[in-house]
Amino acid sequence: MQKLKKISIVLFVVFCLIQLLWIGAPVFMAVLWSLVDVDTPWSYPDMFPKKLSFSQWSYAWNHTNLKRAMVTSYTVATLTSFFTLLISLPTSYILGRKKPRGKRFIETVLLLPIVLPGMVIALFVGRIFTSIGLVQSMGGIVLGHILLGIPYMTRLLTSSFESIPQDVLDAAQDLGTGRIRMIFKIYFPMIRLGFIAGTIFVFIKSIEEFNLSFILGLPTYETIPTMLYTYLGYNFHRTYASIISLILTVPNLIILLLIEQKIKTSLTPRSAAGKG
Amino acid sequence: MKRSRLTDYILLLPAFIYVSLFLSFTLFMMISQSFGLFSLLGETEGFTLQYWKSAMIQESFDSFFYSMKIGLVSSTLVVVIAYPIALILNQEIRGARIVGSLIKIPYFINAMVAAFLIINIIAYHGFLNQFLMFLGFIDEPLRMRNDDFGTGVIVIQVWKNIPFALLIITASIAGVSKDVIDAAKDLRAGPVRIFFSIYLPLTISGAVTAHILLFIMIFGDFAIYSVAGPIYPQSLTARMQLIVSNFLQWEEASVLATVLIISVIVVASTLTFISKKYIGIYEKVGYAEIKKD
């Protein structure tokens, strides 16, 4: 047993090193690419760029659509997380507290938007929206993003509601607490974490969403991911792509790692742990 | 009492109706348009199988098999890599938590960004090729991005999806009761035996769930294909998008979408069926060994 422990520690250290390289190298390369100087290109056979500067950052900031795309992305994300919260709250309350009949079925349906292939949903939602004039509009993009936000939001909120001990509610009721007081003094403080985590998670998922924004928004509304798509596709530009990637990823990563623990406990499919 | 039941159901509705209306409309449109019905924009010409016939061309088959290949290969690879990692992370070693956080990073990275990050490494004059040439393993750079097989796509899919698999598999491994393991150790079961008779049968359903979800995500991939995939064949979704945006042939695209959804269902149920069968076998082996003792 002792030997086994030693082997596993060695394995663990090797694994950590591989992990550092596995995650670190790609991120490092992107940072490096974004810092390449305008006047001194980095090309084969140089192993590293000759000169580093922020010139490309300021150029991308001032002379591309970056600012507008960011405004669009963040507006859409804010609206999306607000409305998703509004729509998901009552449903999650019932799912978490009242255990209605067909709970599993309803939960499965609520998960479907993120299980079905995104491009298929995006294309046909786009088709329907075209016929009712919602395509190429902010409203259409937000409506689409809400659909993809609901699975995360309901999951996080439902598990928060589930975790409120019934005793507390009963005690409050016995003491004659009114409905509104219950909401503000018991429900809200107790689901606060799920509430915050859900809102942030949906916000970030909306910022990262590509398929729907691509079909519904372009060319009128460009978001950060669709802009990245142009710089990776027909307008290939490695430096801009690096800059946009970093702008898209770094803020999200920091926030998510901060709230990660909360998300982990409630986003893990419970069905996955036990039954298939 | 009855009134409050009613209120409950009304409160239940918002998110449920939103999702089910959206999805049923989308899926309904998809299937009916593939038979030439309910064309919202053009003219509806009545039930016909003509689009199914015209969509069944070599390009479609190539795309289908490409997506299927990438989906099966990448999802299997991810599960095979993630399972031992989950076992390692489950051991109580100091630092496991930090590594656990580090390893989750790709999950929070947008698919396209992930694709971009990796192509910087595996590009023709990229870091990896130069390093391998520097070490003298290869004489000229390997083509890994936009290659015909889709190596680049597979590498990116694996990189991006390991955390997702870990999330599910770790949960199912953590669900294995410590008492059972201790009992087995008391009965002098070795690590190999513990793995095959306890961990594997108890966690295989988690692994299969991960496998299925991964397959669905990878099979329907658009972003990663479009950054690093081969020029031909296209992934099924990329082909759909191309048909729609370049030729406006919504009916053919609907056929492909229907095929995509059906194959997802078929593969998912096949995997579930296989795993059920195997769980049975492992349980039998486990019982037989217990009896032997």
Asked if B167 and A109 come within 8 Å (Cβ–Cβ), the reply is no
Residue B94: predicted pLDDT: 65
How far off is chain B from A62, nearest CA to CA, in Å?
A: 22
Is B125 in contact with A44 (Cβ distance < 8 A)?
yes
Of chain A residues 72-101, which have a CB less than 8 A from chain B? 87-88, 90-95, 98, 100
Judge whether B93 and B176 are in contact, CB under 8 Å.
no
Instruction: Please report residues of B whose CB lies closer than 8 A to that of A233.
Output: 226-227
The whole-number average pLDDT for the span B125-153 is: 75
Residue B110 is predicted with a pLDDT of 84
The residues with which A52 forms a beta bridge, in sequence order, are A36
> How far from A89 is each of A106, A155, A204, B57, B209, CA to CA, in Å?
15, 11, 19, 47, 28
For the beta carbon of residue B243, count every other beta carbon within 10 angstroms. 23
Closest CA to A142 of A239, A248, A221: A221
Q: Report ipTM (2 d.p.).
A: 0.80
Predicted pLDDT of residue A84? 93
Q: Given this model, what pLDDT does residue B5 score?
A: 76
Query: For B208-258, what is each residue's pLDDT tens digit?
Result: 888 888 998 888 888 888 888 787 788 888 888 888 887 777 888 888 888
| Amino acid residing at A262 | K
Backbone region of residue B249 per phi and psi (left: phi > 0; alpha: psi in -120 to 50; beta: other values): beta
Tokens for B42, please give them. Answer: 């053009």
Please name the member of A116, A248, A276 whose beta carbon is closest to the beta carbon of B275: A276
Compute the average pLDDT of residues A208-235. Answer: 85
Q: What is the pLDDT of residue B93?
A: 65
| Least confident stretch, A135-144, A193-202, A230-239 | A230-239
Q: Looking at beta carbons, which residues of chain B come within 8 Å of A241?
A: 116
How much is the pLDDT for A262?
Answer: 57
| Residue B4 vs residues A94, A98, A124, A156, B7: alpha-carbon distances, Å | 11, 11, 38, 25, 5
- Compute how many other C-beta atoms are within 10 angstroms of the C-beta atom of residue A249: 23
The answer to whether the Cβ–Cβ distance between A15 and B93 falls below 8 Å is: no
Q: Which of A44, A124, A267 sits opposite B30 (nearest CB)?
A: A124
Distance (Å) of CA A178 to CA A143, A183, A186: 35, 9, 11
Task: Count Cβ atoms within 10 A of the Cβ of residue B81 and give its class: 0-12 exposed, 13-18 middle, 19 or more buried.
Answer: middle
Amino acid occupying residue A56: Q
Nearest CA in chain B to A152: B15
- State whether A123 and B171 contact (CB < 8 Å): no
Mean pLDDT score of chain A, rounded to an integer? 81
| Contact check, Cβ <8 Å, B118/A248 | no
Q: What is the pTM of this model?
A: 0.83
Q: Do B205 and A115 touch (CB under 8 A)?
A: no
Query: Bridge-partner residues for A36, per DSSP?
Result: A52
Q: What percent of chain A is predicted at pLDDT more than 70?
A: 88
Contact of A223 with A73, CB cutoff 8 Å: yes
pLDDT of residue B59 exceeding 90, the answer is: no
The listed range with the strongest mean pLDDT (A107-116, A238-247, B48-57, B74-83) is B74-83
Nearest by CB: A123 against B25, B108, B241: B241
- Answer whether A232 sits within 8 Å of B112, measured CB to CB: yes
User: A254 at the B interface (CB within 8 A)?
Assistant: no
The reported pLDDT for the residue numbered A269 is 46
Based on the number of CB atoms within 10 Å of its own CB, is B212 exposed (0-12), middle (13-18) or buried (19 or more)?
buried
Question: Using CA of residue B254, residue B258, residue B264, residue B267, what is the dihedral sign?
Answer: negative
Per residue in A81-124, pLDDT tens?
999 999 998 888 888 888 777 888 888 888 888 888 888 888 88
What does the buried/exposed string (b/e) look like for B57-67 if buried means 16 or more CB atoms within 10 Å of the residue's CB? Answer: eeebeebbebb
What are the backbone dihedrals phi and psi of residue A52, each rounded to the nearest 5 degrees, phi first? -110, 140
In the predicted structure, residue A267 carries a pLDDT above the cut 60: no
Residues of B in contact with A204 (CB under 8 A): 108
As a whole-number percent, the residues of chain B with pLDDT over 90 amount to: 3
B185 vs chain A: nearest CA distance in angstroms? 10
Q: Inform me whether the pLDDT recorded for B136 exceeds 80.
A: no
Nearest to B26 among A98, A121, A245 (CB): A121
Question: How far, in Å, CA of A233 to CA of A115, rounded?
Answer: 26
A186 CB near a chain B CB, below 8 Å? no
In Å, how far is B291's CA from the nearest CA of chain A? 25
Spatial contact of A64 and A248, defined as CB atoms under 8 Å apart: no
Q: Which residue has the higher pLDDT, A88 or B274?
A: A88
- Does A273 score more than 50 pLDDT? no
